[in-house]
Amino acid sequence: MIKAGEYVLLYHSDRIKFLVSVQENGSFSTHRGNIDFRQITGKEYGDWVETQYGTRFYLLKPTLADLALKVKRTTTIVYPKDAGYMLLQTMIFPGARVIEVGSGSGALTAVLASFVRPHGRVYSYERRPEFSANAVDNIRRYKLDDVCEFFVADPVEQGFQQTDVDAVFLDVPEPWALVRAARQALKSGYPLAGLVPTFEQLRRFTSALSAEGFIRIRAREILERGYYLRETGIRPVDRMVAHTVFLVFAHKANIRNEQE
């Protein structure tokens, strides 16, 4: 039974759907009419409700991808296609302790928090206070704040407060400036991940990783292609998101002293 405080995906179609936080009172407005929250509470997931104009919305359990894509955005967000791939190429597991820079809008934070629960920890750094505040807000609304700690700080200058973490995620314009600090925080033999949109960044970031004793340095790009499933025929969608970021992965090796 759905209760106030839960998130529900109001689903009419792939184009008309809304992620809503159910309240005790009041209503949710759409261009297809309103849904009174008391229509929702007491119903089960999978049930449907209708607006006054007869538009039907199903009450679906939001997936993690729904939550990540619908955070209140102050920045570009990490896409599910990229977040999912990073989960498998780094050391994320229930109980993991991981660092993330920057917090951005909290989309990646939410994904990481969901999978380190209940005993893990996400340490999320962000130097712009207003971005951090928004990320904190998003994480709180998703009730993931029990495993997240936010820092308004610039780790380029101050480094990280944690050591022996299982993974480090760098989603900043100049990740090369953080490679040394990441190295100090990361467990030896464990992986780091970075996200950069341009080739110039890719070159500079991977060069820094190599210079700072990281090995197994790899760059990947994940593309997501949708398909129309129409009665008249199946075919790939006409237009797609063609590029988000290049994903970079590397493992910390104990070779730094030799090089110095």
Q: Which of residues 41-100 bind its own copies (CB under 8 A)?
A: 44-48, 58-61, 63-65, 68, 80-81, 83-95
Task: Confirm or reject binding of residue 229 to its own copies (CB under 8 A).
Answer: yes
Cα–Cα distance for residue pair 163/80, rounded to 1 Å: 28
Q: Which of 4, 16, 211, 255 binds its own copies (CB under 8 A)?
A: 255
User: Using the rule CB under 8 A, is 236 a contact of its own copies?
Assistant: yes
CB 42 within 8 A of CB 56: no
Segment contacting its own copies (CB under 8 A): 24-32, 155-163, 174-182, 184-192?
184-192
User: Residues binding its own copies: what is the number (CB under 8 A)?
Assistant: 80
Q: How far apart are CA 38 and CA 43, in angstroms?
A: 9
Locus of tokens 């109980």: 95
Distance, in Å, from the CA atom of 50 to the CA atom of 58, rounded to the nearest integer, reads 9
Residue number with CB closer to its own copies (158 or 236): 236
- Distance CA(56)–CA(109), nearest Å, equals 33
Q: Among residues 87 and 156, whose Cβ is nearest to its own copies?
A: 87
Q: By CB under 8 A, is residue 4 in contact with its own copies?
A: no
Residue 179 sits at φ, ψ, to 5 deg, of -65, -40
Contacts of 119 (CB under 8 A, 6+ apart): 94, 95
Nearer residue to its own copies within complex by CB, 136 or 248 = 248
Shortest distance (Å) from residue 48 CB to its own copies: 7
